[in-house]
Structure 1
C-alpha cells in the first residue's frame, strides 16, 4: 500500500490526539480519581497506537503501547496515579511529540525510546519505586561486573517476573547468511514474528541499529513467550536467508549471570523521572494549571468531521477574486440606483444577497480560532512552574477569537517567549509572594479579543512588575540610550527598552531565560506580521504585555464618511455609535478638545486637521458629526463632515512606497472608482 498519500492525514490526526492527551493529562492531574478522564486518555492512546502501527512507525506504536499498559491498570483500579507516574507519562508524550515532529520534517520517526519504555514497564511491574531507590544507591553498591553482563536492572526484573509467572524466557541468537543482501528486512521479519508470539524485552544491537544495518550477520534478542524453544528455532529458521537460530532458555540463575552491574541508560532515565517527581510535593504536583473552559470528560479522541484540506495559496487566490467581484457588485448597485429599472434592481439585490453569503463563507475558510495556539500553553506553564518551584495558574479567555491562518502559524513562538518571561521574571517564588502579602499561587492571564480590524492578545501576570530604574540603569550601561534621552523617557518607553537586541535583566543565565534573545525576537516577529507590542507595568503588582495583530481580512464592514472632498472608511467593528455635537458642548483641557460622553470625558479628534484635508474647516460650524470609536476600554470621538453610510469594503495594501502611515491601515476602491483611505482608530486612541 502506498503510504505517502495518507501521511498528511496521519500527521494532522496524530497532532490532534497528542493535544487531547496533553489536555486530558492536565485535567487528570487536577482530578486523579476521575476514571472517565483516564478512559478518554486511553482511547486517544489506543487510536494513536493503531495509526502508528498501520503507517509503519514502530517506535511510536511501541511507546504508545507501553503507555496503554499503564493507563489500563489505572482505569481498572489496579494502580493509582502519583507524581512519578504523571511525570513518566508526560515524558512519554514529549517523546511522541518529538517523533511526530521528526516525521513532519521528513524523518523516519525513529528514536531511542528504550529508556522511557523501561520506566513505563517498571510502573506496570510495580518495581519503579525500588528501581528509583536502586539507581540512587547504585554507584556505591555496584557489584563486580560479570563477563556476560547484558541486562540492566529493569530488564532483569521484567524477565524474572515472567519466569515466576510461568512463561518461557529465551535468549535468541539469530545468524543470517553471509550472502544476505537485505539484512534489515530479514531482521524485521524475525521481529515481526516474535512480536506476534510474545514480548521482546531487549535486542543487541538496538532495534535502531539493526534497522540501519549496523550489525554484521548476527543479533541477539531477549524474548518472553509461551512457545517452546524448538518451535521458536523452527519458525524463525524458516525465514529466508537464515544461517542458524539458537534459543537459550533462561532460568533465574541464568538471568542473574546476564545482568549488568552498573546503572544503564534506562536506570538513569528512571532516576531522572524520580528526581523530577521528588522535587515537588504531592500537593504541588496535584495543583492544576487552570484553563478557562475545561473540555468534556468524553472529549479525549477528537470526533472526525467530513473535512478536506486545501492549500492556503488557493484560498488567497479565491479571496483576491472575490474582492474584485465585490468591487464590481458595489459599482452595479450604484448604476442600478441611477438607471431605476425594477428588473435590474431586483437582479442586483439578489446578487448582493448571494454574494454576501459567499463572502461569509470565503472569510470563514481562512479564519482559525487562537485556541489552536493557546491549547499547548497550559502544559508548558505547568512544566515551567514545576522546574522553577513556583505555583502558577494560567487562565485563558477568548480562545474562540479567530485569526487568519497565516498569522496563527507565526504567532506561537512570540507568545511562548512572553509566557516564559511572565512565569520566570514576573511571578515570584512562593516565599516571596507570601512575604509581599500575595496568595502563594501566581496568576497569568492569557486573553484574546477583537478591536476594529485587529486582534489583541494580552499576557498579564500578578507578579513583581518591572523595576523602571533597574531597566534604565542597564540600558545606560549598555549604551542603549544616552543619559540625556534617559531623562525624557516615559514609563512605557523605558519598558520598551526590554525589547532592545541583547537586552536582559536576568541576574543569571538559565535554560529558561537570561540570554537576552527572547523579547527582541518577539518584537521582530510581531512587527513582521504587521503587528505591534506594548508593555504596561505596576511595580510590585504585575505586568501586561499587549500584542496587536492585524486580522488580515481582505473584506471588512465599514462606515464611509466625508471630509471635504475626500472619503474615508472607519471599520465598523471599532465604532460604538455616531452622534452630532454642538459647538458649546466641546471643551478645551490643556489645549486638547474634549467632550462629555456617558457621564465621562473623552477626547475629540479632528480628522480633517490630522489628515490635513484641503478645502474643509470646522471653525465655522455650529455643530459637527462625530463617530465614537473604542479600543479595549478606551474611547475617543472622531469629528467628520458627513456620514455616507455603511458598506462592505475590500481592504487593499498601500504597497511598498506608502509604509508606516500614521492612523491609516490601508485603502479601498469604492463603487464609483474612487479610492478611500481606511482609518486605523486603534492608532488614534493610543
Structure 2
C-alpha cells in the first residue's frame, strides 16, 4: 500500500501523541497512582504504535509497542511507578520524538533502539517476576502472575474455561515474544502451536489465528491454554522452539476477567454528571452528533500561507480602489468600496484566526526541559504554566520558542537557589517558576517569573562599569529597571564560572534582539531574595499591521501604531537643549528629538518653520520624538520584507504598497531609540 499520501497527517498526529506522552509522564511523576493518567499514556502509545506499523516504520512501532507493554503492566498493577522509572520513560519518548523528526526531515526513522528496549523489557518483567514470587510463594521461570491480558471472550469460550476448572484442569495465559530478527514469524507461530496442542487445548489467541498465519502481528502473541501440565513445563517446552525471546505463563482467572469487564461496562455507562439521565438519542440527535465530529479539518500551514499572501494582495488592491473612489467622487463606486472594505475586514479576521495557534505548542516542551536541567544542577524546581490556551499567529509562535528557553534556563541557573541555600533563607526547598501568557489589546504578554535570588543590582552596575558599557555619570541617573536591563547587553554576564548552561555572556542579548525583531519588547523587574519577572510583549500577528503614514519631503513612511504614544505639533519656543542635543519637555519628561531626514538621508532645503510635527514613540520606558513634515493618516498595511539584499537597512523593518501604488518604508522605531 502506498502510504506517502498520508505522511503529513502521520507526522502531525505522531507529534501530538508524543506531546501527550511528555505531558502525562510529568504528571505521572507527581501522581504515580492516578489511573486516568496511566490510561491516557497507554492510549497515546497504542495509537502511535498502530500508526507506525501501518506506515511501515518498524523501529518506531517496536519501541512504542515496548512502551505500551510497560504501561499495560502499570495499569494492571504488575509494575508500580517509581520516580527513577520516569527518567527512562522520558528518554524513551525522546527517542520516539527523534525518530518522528527524522521521518519529517525525509529520513527512514531507523534508530538503534536495542538498549532502551532491553531496559523497558526489564522494567516490565523484572518487577512483575518479583510480584509473582511474593504472591505465589514460588519462583517460576519466565512467568508472571498478573491481571489477564486477553479481555475479549465470548460466552462459549467462558463456559469451556469454567468447565475445565471444575474438571481439575488449569487455565493458562501464555504470552510468547519472538526475537526482533525473526524472519519467518508465521513458521515459528506454527511450531509453537504444535507444542501447545501437545500440552493441552488452545481456546483463544490474540491476535487471531488467521492474523498469526498471515504474519499480521509484530513480535508477540498471547493464547489461553487449558492444560493439566505445570507452568514450568509449558514454558520450557515452548522455549525449545528457536528464535523465541521470552515466554510468560500464568494462570488465567475467569473471575478477574469478569470483574474487569464489569468495571469497564460501569465506567462507560456512568454519566459525567450523576444527575444526568441516560436517554437514547433520536435519529436526528445522532445525525447532529455525527456532524459535530466533522467540524474540524487539518490544513497544511503552507496552504494558509498562500491564502494569507493572496489576501495581502487583496488588501493592497482595496487601498487602491479606496484612493480611486476618492479621486473620482462616484457615489456608486464609493458605496461598493465601503462594502468591500467591510467584507474584507471580516475576511481578514477569519484568516488571522485560522493562523492562530495556542501557545501551548511552545509551552508544552518546557516542563521536561526544566525537569532535566534542574536535575543536572541538583536543584528542585516546579514549573507552573498559566494561559497555555492563549493564541498567537503561527509566524510569532515559530520564533518565540528559543527566547523563552533562554529565559527559563537563566531562571533555573541564576535565579533558583540550591535546596540548601533556600532552606537557609527560610524558603521551601523546591523553587517555583511561573510561565504565564495572556492577551491585552492587540498584544500577547508572556511573563517568566521565579521565586529565586533575584538580580543583584549593585553587582550588575559594577560589572557594567568595568565593561565600559556606561560611565559613572550615566550610572547615577539610571532607574532600577534600566540597571536590570543591562544584563541583556551583548557579552554581559555576572556568572562566576562558565558552564554549559550559562556564563559566556550570550543568551539574553539574543533574546532581546529576537523579541524586538518581532515588533515586541521585554521588561525586567526584580527584588533580592524574592525573585525576578521577565515580561515579554508581542504583537498578535506580523503580516498586517496598523500604521501612521507620515511624509518626509514628499516621501511617505509608515510608523507602527503599537510603538506610538501620541502625535504633537510643537512650537519653536518649546525646543530645548541638553548635552548639546535637541529635546522637548513631554509631560514632565525630557524626550530627545530625532530628525528622520538625517537618519534616512532625505535631502531637503533648510526652511525655518514656526512649528514642528513630531511623533512620540516608545520602547519600554524610553521615549523619542520623531520629527516629520506632516501626518497623512492611519491605515492598515501589509508588511513586506525588503529581501536578503536590503536586510541590514538601519531602522527600516520592511515596506508596503499604498493605495496609490507608491511604496512606503516602515520605520523600526525600536532601532532608532536603541
Aligned residues: 560
Distance verdict in 2 for CA 1:253–1:616, change over 3 Å: farther
Q: Which moved more, 1:513-522 or 1:415-424?
A: 513-522
Q: Structure 1, unaligned stretches of length 5 or more?
A: 131-155, 168-196, 242-246, 260-265, 267-302, 476-480
Structure-to-structure mapping, 1:124-163, within 5 angstroms: 127=131, 159-161=142-144
Counterpart secondary structure, 1:348? helix
Structure-to-structure mapping, 1:136-285, within 5 angstroms: 159-161=142-144, 200=175, 202-203=177-178, 206-207=179-180, 209-210=181-182, 229=199, 252=232
Structure-to-structure mapping, 1:361-376, within 5 angstroms: 361-376=350-365
Distance verdict in 2 for CA 1:71–1:12, change over 3 Å: farther
Aligned to 2:263: none
Q: Which moved more, 1:380-389 or 1:630-639?
A: 630-639
Aligned to 1:562: 551
Counterpart secondary structure, 1:210? coil
Distance verdict in 2 for CA 1:651–1:531, change over 3 Å: closer
- Distance (whole Å) between structure 1 residues aligned to residue 439 and residue 591 of structure 2: 22
Shift of 1:537: 9.0
CA contact (8 A) 1:454 1:548 kept: yes
Alpha-carbon RMSD: 5.6
Q: Does 1:385 align with 2:389?
A: no
Q: Pick from 655, 664, 667: which aligns with 1:667?
A: 655
Aligned to 1:3: 3
Aligned to 1:141: none
Structure-to-structure mapping, 1:52-63, within 5 angstroms: 52-55=52-55, 57=58, 58-63=61-66
Shift of 1:379: 2.1
Aligned to 1:178: none
Distance verdict in 2 for CA 1:629–1:129, change over 3 Å: farther
Aligned to 2:276: none
Q: Which moved more, 1:423-432 or 1:544-553?
A: 544-553
Q: Pick from 299, 306, 309: which aligns with 2:299?
A: 309
Counterpart secondary structure, 2:583? strand
Counterpart secondary structure, 1:16? helix
CA contact (8 A) 1:451 1:632 kept: no
Aligned to 1:296: none
Aligned to 1:433: 422
Distance verdict in 2 for CA 1:531–1:231, change over 3 Å: farther
Greater relative CO (CA pairs within 8 A, separation 6+): 1
Shift of 1:308: 3.1
- Distance (whole Å) between structure 2 residues aligned to residue 671 and residue 340 of structure 1: 16
- Distance (whole Å) between structure 1 residues aligned to residue 664 and residue 67 of structure 2: 58
Q: Which moved more, 1:627-636 or 1:63-72?
A: 627-636
Aligned to 2:326: 337
Aligned to 2:345: 356
- Distance (whole Å) between structure 2 residues aligned to residue 2 and residue 339 of structure 1: 59
CA contact (8 A) 1:458 1:545 kept: yes
- Distance (whole Å) between structure 2 residues aligned to residue 496 and residue 128 of structure 1: 62
CA contact (8 A) 1:199 1:224 kept: no
> TM-score with structure 2 length normalisation?
0.64
Aligned to 1:107: 108
> TM-score with structure 1 length normalisation?
0.63
Aligned to 1:118: 122
CA contact (8 A) 1:200 1:224 kept: no
Distance verdict in 2 for CA 1:498–1:224, change over 3 Å: farther
- Distance (whole Å) between structure 2 residues aligned to residue 463 and residue 516 of structure 1: 21
CA contact (8 A) 2:79 2:127 kept: no
CA contact (8 A) 1:451 1:574 kept: no
Aligned to 1:442: 431
- Distance (whole Å) between structure 2 residues aligned to residue 223 and residue 514 of structure 1: 61
Aligned to 2:17: 17
Shift of 1:497: 4.7
- Distance (whole Å) between structure 2 residues aligned to residue 508 and residue 620 of structure 1: 57
Shift of 1:360: 3.2
- Distance (whole Å) between structure 1 residues aligned to residue 617 and residue 462 of structure 2: 39
Structure-to-structure mapping, 1:606-685, within 5 angstroms: 606-608=594-596, 611=599, 614-615=603-604, 620-621=609-610, 626-632=614-620, 638-685=626-673
Aligned to 1:144: none
Q: Pick from 397, 400, 412: which aligns with 1:423?
A: 412
- Distance (whole Å) between structure 2 residues aligned to residue 397 and residue 66 of structure 1: 33
- Distance (whole Å) between structure 1 residues aligned to residue 573 and residue 671 of structure 2: 28
Structure-to-structure mapping, 1:486-505, within 5 angstroms: 496-498=489-491
- Distance (whole Å) between structure 1 residues aligned to residue 643 and residue 81 of structure 2: 58
Deviations 1:417-437 (A, max 9, x none): 553344234422112234456
Counterpart secondary structure, 1:66? helix
